Amino acid sequence: MSARIVNKPVADLRAEPDHRAERVSQALIFTRCELLEEHGAGEGEERWARVRTPDGYTGWTLAAFLSEPDAADATADGQEALEWKVRAPWAPAFDSRGELQLYLPFDARFRGRLHGRDGRVELTLPDGRRAWVRRADVKRGEPEPLSELLRLARRFVGVPYLWGGVSPFGFDCSGFVQRLFHYGGVQLPRDTEQQRRVGRPVARLSELKPGDLVFFPRHVGLYLGGAAGWLIHAARALGGVGLTPLLADEPYSQALRARFLEGRRLNLGIGNAAFRP
C-alpha cells in the first residue's frame, strides 16, 4: 500500500467508483490517505482510487484529487516547518503575487513557516505550489479545551446539511461532531453508531453536561447546556447546522426528547463549560 495526500479543498468519497454513487464521506486537503486500489485505466476513462482515511473510513475518489505527499512536506529555505490548522471556516491561500489559489477549509492541517514580519504563514500546496495564508486564519496544531470547541460550534450555525459532509461546505450530523473534536485534537469515528461506542454512557437527559454527545436513532448532536438544554446538530429537519432547546415545550424539541437514546461523555480531561446563547 502507498500513501497519497488530498490536493483539493474537499474531496468526496464515494461508495463506488462512480459520480452517481453514494457519498459516504469526504476528506480535506492535506489529508494523508492509504491507497488501496485503482480503477479505470482505460483510454478515455476517469481514474478512481479507493483510499482509507485516518479515521479508518474507505471510499472511492478521483485519482486526480490525490498527490504524492513529498511536495507538501517540503520546507521553505530549509527551515523547520511547524504544524498548523485552519481556525476560520475558510482560509484563502495566496501565491507570491497575492492572487487567490484556493480556500483551505476549517481544520485543514498543514506544515508551514511563520513570517513574523508580515503576519503570514507560508506553506507548500500538495501540487508543489508555494502559497501563504493569513496568520489570523490559522493556529498551531495543538489540542484545544472543550470550552473552545463549544464556542466554535456556534460559528457553523446555518451551514447546510450534506449527506457525507465534513466541512463548512456542508455537514451531516456525525461529520459535524467528528470535525469539531478533530480540531480539538480528538479523532472520533466517522459514523453515528461508531461514535456511540466512544466514552461512557449518560442515561438521562437531566444528567447531560456541556460537551456530551447526544444520540437519537441514526442521529447525533453536541450538548451545549444552559437552562434550555441547548443542542447543536446538523439535521435535515433544520436544513443544516442549528440550535435546538431540548427542554423547551416546542414540537421538535418534544419529538427529540421522545427519541433520546443516551449521551456519551468523552474522557478528554479538559473540563466542561456551560453554554449561553
Per-residue pLDDT tens for 203-225?
A: 999 999 999 999 999 999 999 99
Written as nine digits, the cell of 273 is 463549560
Instruction: Looking at the structure, tell me whether residues 128 and 173 fall in a common domain.
Output: no
* Residue 270: inside a domain: no
Looking at residue 274, its pLDDT comes to 36
CA dihedral 31, 6, 20, 105 (to 10 degrees): 70
Among 33, 39, 115, 173, the active-site one is: 173
Does the annotation count 173 as an active-site position? yes
* Residue 77: inside a domain: yes
CATH number of residue 161's parent domain: 3.90.1720.10
Among 33, 39, 115, 233, the active-site one is: 233
Domain-terminating residue out of 140, 164, 196 = 140
Looking at residue 52, its pLDDT comes to 98
Looking at residue 275, its pLDDT comes to 34
Domain-terminating residue out of 102, 122, 140 = 140
Average per-residue pLDDT for the chain: 92
**Three-state secondary structure readout of 107-143:** CCEEEEEEECCCCEEEEECCCCCEEEEEHHHEEECCC
Among 19, 33, 39, 219, the active-site one is: 219
CATH number of residue 135's parent domain: 2.30.30.40
* Residue 271: inside a domain: no
Does the annotation count 182 as an active-site position? no
Instruction: Looking at the structure, tell me whether residues 11 and 106 fall in a common domain.
Output: no
Domain-terminating residue out of 67, 83, 108 = 67
CA dihedral 175, 177, 179, 185 (to 10 degrees): -140
H helices of 154-244, in order, are 173-184, 192-195
Domain total for the chain?
3
CA dihedral 25, 26, 31, 35 (to 10 degrees): 60
Does the annotation count 39 as an active-site position? no
* Domain extent for 225: 146-265
Higher pLDDT, 92 or 42: 92
